[in-house]
């Protein structure tokens, strides 16, 4: 059974940093692309970032490019999202998601339960 468990969210001041983690299990972590998708309170879904199974290719939404960094640790089967220079409009529930079968970067099939990031003074 695929399981994705996010952690690391919390309250942070504007300009601050947070690192989100996503512990993956139930599948061969290195074989699948992974993504982060966020959802602001009461709003729709917004793709944030994706990384290939090998980790060699990374992609970002323009809204986070230069501020967020996606990475993965194969020894820990964990996906990360380092978030710097946080702004109020980064406030959202952040979902970790596993990519579908096939392709370097593919859309999600399974999603975690999310971790809440609140940026406020």
State the residues that interact with another protein by CB under 8 A: 37, 44-47, 50, 59, 61-62, 95, 100, 105-114
Q: Smallest distance, Å, CB 61 to another protein? A: 5
Q: Smallest distance, Å, CB 54 to another protein? A: 18
Which residues are bridge partners to 81 per DSSP?
A: 20, 70
Q: Which is nearer to another protein, 8 or 16 (CB)?
A: 8
Q: Smallest distance, Å, CB 31 to another protein? A: 17
Q: Smallest distance, Å, CB 113 to another protein? A: 5
**For the chain, how many helices (H) and strands (E)?**
0, 11
Q: Which is nearer to another protein, 16 or 27 (CB)?
A: 27
Q: Which is nearer to another protein, 16 or 63 (CB)?
A: 63
Q: Is 87 exposed, middle or buried (0-12, 13-18, 19+ CB in 10 A)?
A: middle
How many of the other CB atoms lie within 10 Å of CB of 45? 14
Check the CA dihedral 76-79-83-87 and report its sign: negative
């Amino acid at each position: 059974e695929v399981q994705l468990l996010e952690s690391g969210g919390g309250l942070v001041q504007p300009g601050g940093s947070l690192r989100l983690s996503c512990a993956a299990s139930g599948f061969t972590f290195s074989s699948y692309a992974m993504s982060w998708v966020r959802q602001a309170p009461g709003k729709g879904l917004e793709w944030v970032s994706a990384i290939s199974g090998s980790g060699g290719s990374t992609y970002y939404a323009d809204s986070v490019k230069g501020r967020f960094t996606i990475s993965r640790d194969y020894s820990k089967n964990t996906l990360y999202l380092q978030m710097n220079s946080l702004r109020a409009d980064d406030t959202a529930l952040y979902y970790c998601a596993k990519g579908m079968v096939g392709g370097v970067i593919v859309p999600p099939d399974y999603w975690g339960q999310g971790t809440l990031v609140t940026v406020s003074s």
